[in-house]
Amino acid sequence: MKHVVSVSLGSSARNKSSEFEMLGERFLLERIGTDGDMKAFKAKFEELDGKVDAMGIGGADLYLVSGERKFAFREIAHCISGVKRTPIVDGSGLKHTLERKSIEFLSESHQIDFAKEKVFLVSAVDRYGMAQALDKVCPDVIYGDLLFGIGLNLPIRTYAGVQRLANVLLPVITKLPFKWFYPTGEKQDQRTPKFQKVWDDRTFICGDSLFILRFAPDRLEWKTILTQSVRAANLEYFKSAGVKQLITTTPVVGNETFATNVMEAAIVALLGKGQTPLLESEYEEVLGRMNWKPNVIQL
């Protein structure tokens, strides 16, 4: 049995373990939260190094991406610097492939007519595969990077605009404390709705589930939400908020959907290439064998 652990900066109250099967291989999956404590986060990675098949970075991003440029958060890179043997991933491999393909599949299968949708991607530098795919199929996208990354009421309306700002700001931002830009610990479960007019004006909302759950208003009438994965409580929130349909990008495995970092770590463990980074084609090959498609839930 493969053993995969997601070490998270989120709350330890959501710790869990479960077994599932993927492509004939059994997996034990654990999620271990460290309550926003960077020292505990770093120590847990080092404790598990060499003892498990793969690890995921949960509740945090290692990389933000603009076009072909990747910028690593210095603080998160430091936390995993002691890991020498076990492969460790942050979900960016699947963000580049699976999330891009989610937009392409929904468009090409005519399930979503992006030419008619008014899209809100809450953060483009975090979900860059999704951002690049939307840029090709949807003429009306608002990117929320300045709204929620920095707190400025300045919606960005083109992906080229995201790239110009990102190339200036990310070299600086990624050197500052991570918690200034992304909720950690108990803050991940606190709702602080912001910029309601932007949400109200949109029909299709997508991106990081923590951003959506934290900053969305109480009412999301007749909107479609596309995100990586949701828990049962999140599903109830979206239903009570009036959401029309929910689409998750990560595969349903054993009746559950897992976060992008978890799914990517499981694929890495499955292929058994150690710390050698997987190619885009290798992710696509595994997704193809799983007959992966976005999971559409009518609410």
End-to-end C-alpha distance for the chain, whole angstroms: 36
Confidence of residue 275 (pLDDT cuts 50, 70, 90): confident
The pTM of this model reads 0.89
Distance CA 132, CA 95 (A): 11
Q: Is 239 helix (H, G, I), strand (E, B) or coil?
A: helix
Q: pLDDT value at position 126?
A: 87
Task: Give the tens place of pLDDT for each residue, 158-210.
Answer: 999 999 999 999 999 999 988 887 777 677 778 899 999 999 999 999 998 88
Distance CA 264, CA 278 (A): 10
Distance CA 186, CA 15 (A): 13
Q: pLDDT value at position 256?
A: 67
**Do strands 16-22 and 25-33 pair parallel, antiparallel, or not at all (unpaired)?**
antiparallel
Confidence of residue 255 (pLDDT cuts 50, 70, 90): low
Distance CA 97, CA 158 (A): 21
Dump the DSSP string for 179-212: GGTS--BGGGG------HHHHHT-SEEES-HHHH
Range of weakest confidence among 33-37, 85-89, 92-96, 145-149: 92-96
Q: pLDDT value at position 227?
A: 93
161, HSE (Cβ side, Cα atoms, 13 Å): 12
Output the average pLDDT for the chain: 91
